[in-house]
Amino acid sequence: MKRNFIVMVCAMLMLLSANASAKTLVVYYSYTNNCREIVTTLTSQIDADVLEIQPAEKGLKYEANNYALGTQLLNAIKAAPNDASSYPAIDPVTTSLSDYGTIIIVTPLWWSQMAAPMQTYLFNYGGQMAGKNVGLIVSSASSGISSVVADCKRLVPDGNYFSENLWINHSSHSNRASLIQNWLTTVNYNTVTGISKIQTAQNTPIRIYDLNGRLLNQKPSKGIYIVNGKKRIAE
């Protein structure tokens, strides 16, 4: 009896630690709402927490005067990318990255580069993403995203990047649900971020529990169950 109890407590502890490393954070910045819509679509397909980056200075018009302010911010970063004062201030962030094994960055493209407020966030926190899974989704009107990818790799040099990034431009924006779904499949999202990884790391089989903590032989045909700490619904 006592032994069973200890085994159950150990299993619960393993579930809790597995759950922490399997959690996903979606971090985004959006000026004209496209990235926000992308995040809403993305989080209807995966289980993730969301962090929105907000510039400290409100009401700025980045596109005014032929995008003068946006250009000025990016030029400052380009001139001194290692200097913290080159990056525009953002609101304080309280989300701790230690709670997450996977970070998905969703950002607009500005003049072919990563939008400046997202660069500020990654300048401050990209180092803490070392060894974590990192996915990148970029929204642009039409420009290709290779320089945004380069910005991301400069700011998050030790991320464990998904095999592909996702580019959603204005003409494909309305089709984002299927683009995101295909991307998650292509990058093997479930395997890279969750169950299989936990299996490899701990060398243990997948464990399925009911809501009372009872170990099940197989996934139930109906109802809520827990796989490696994550709630699932069988319908």
Ligand X SMILES: Cc1cc2nc3c(=O)[nH]c(=O)nc-3n(C[C@H](O)[C@H](O)[C@H](O)COP(=O)(O)O)c2cc1C
Contacts of 213 (CB under 8 A, 6+ apart): 8, 12
Cβ atoms of 172 and 179 within 8 Å: the answer is yes
Maximum pairwise Cα distance, the chain: 74
Q: Which residue, 67 or 209, is less far from ligand X as judged by CB?
A: 67
Q: Which residue, 70 or 135, is less far from ligand X as judged by CB?
A: 70
Give least dist CB 117 to ligand X, A: 10
Distance separating alpha carbons of residues 164 and 98, to the nearest angstrom: 24
Give least dist CB 69 to ligand X, A: 7
Burial class from Cβ neighbours inside 10 Å (0-12, 13-18, 19+) for residue 7 reads exposed
Distance separating alpha carbons of residues 69 and 162, to the nearest angstrom: 32
Q: Which residue, 53 or 187, is less far from ligand X as judged by CB?
A: 53
Q: Which residue, 147 or 160, is less far from ligand X as judged by CB?
A: 147
Cβ atoms of 121 and 156 within 8 Å: the answer is no
Cβ atoms of 118 and 107 within 8 Å: the answer is yes
Q: Which residue, 180 or 198, is less far from ligand X as judged by CB?
A: 180
Give least dist CB 51 to ligand X, A: 15
Q: Is 192 helix (H, G, I), strand (E, B) or coil?
A: helix
Q: Which residue, 43 or 112, is less far from ligand X as judged by CB?
A: 112
Interacting residue ranges for ligand X, rule: CB under 6 A: 30-35, 62-63, 67, 70, 108-112, 139-143
Residue 47, beta-bridge partner list: none
Give least dist CB 128 to ligand X, A: 24
Give least dist CB 147 to ligand X, A: 9
Cβ atoms of 46 and 189 within 8 Å: the answer is yes
Give least dist CB 129 to ligand X, A: 21
